[in-house]
Amino acid sequence: MIPDIKKILYATDLSDNSAYALRYAMNSAIKHDAGIVILHVFELITTTNRFALELYLDGEIRKKNFNERVSETIDRIQKRLKILCDKEFDGDIKYADRVASIEVCEGFPADEILKKADDFNCDVIVMGTHGKGLITQAFLGSTAKRVLRRTRKPVLIIPLPKGETDITFHDF
């Protein structure tokens, strides 16, 4: 028997394709009467760059900058949700209510996606992919590939259709 889908983790890098994949996450949530956890991960900077940054900025300034980035990211995600509801659901805000939480963290994207999917007891992971070239990762983005290799949960990978760009959120 196929398990019920009650919670979906939608991972976004805020690219054009992630906007397209959000439609699939919302549609799945509606069809399964499920909640959505939206996750954005700031990729860790290299140790060398982190050391250089620490030389020039004290801890309080770094923390303030990080908190500002988190706030701006959450704001962008909320604006995308509003645009999606306006375009796809005639402005009906009840669809945005499917979003249980918006999470923003720092780390290695695949690791954080897998960790948060477990932390929030998500049944499915939805994410876009945009493979950055013919050779790079053979059509699958590296993060999507890493998630697929290591997860025990179903993953819905949404490719950007050929010739499409910035499908839903052209204002961002």
**Tens digits of residue pLDDT in 112-128:** 999 999 999 999 999 98
Weakest mean pLDDT among 19-23, 54-58, 103-107, 145-149: 54-58
pLDDT at 155: 95
Weakest mean pLDDT among 9-13, 52-56, 168-172: 168-172
Angle at 75 between CA 71 and CA 76, to 5 degrees: 120
pLDDT at 124: 97
Q: Tokens standing for 46?
A: 């290299």
The C-alpha atoms of residue 128 and residue 111 are separated, in whole angstroms, by: 16
Q: Tokens standing for 59?
A: 């801890």
The C-alpha atoms of residue 142 and residue 154 are separated, in whole angstroms, by: 18
pLDDT band at 43 (very low <50, low <70, confident <90, very high): confident
What is the average pLDDT value for the chain, to the nearest integer? 83
pLDDT at 167: 47
* 50 φ/ψ angles, rounded to the nearest 5 degrees: -65, -40
- Looking at residue 4, the DSSP 8-state letter turns out to be P
The C-alpha atoms of residue 133 and residue 139 are separated, in whole angstroms, by: 7
Whole-model pTM?
A: 0.84
Report the chain's terminal Cα–Cα distance, integer Å: 41
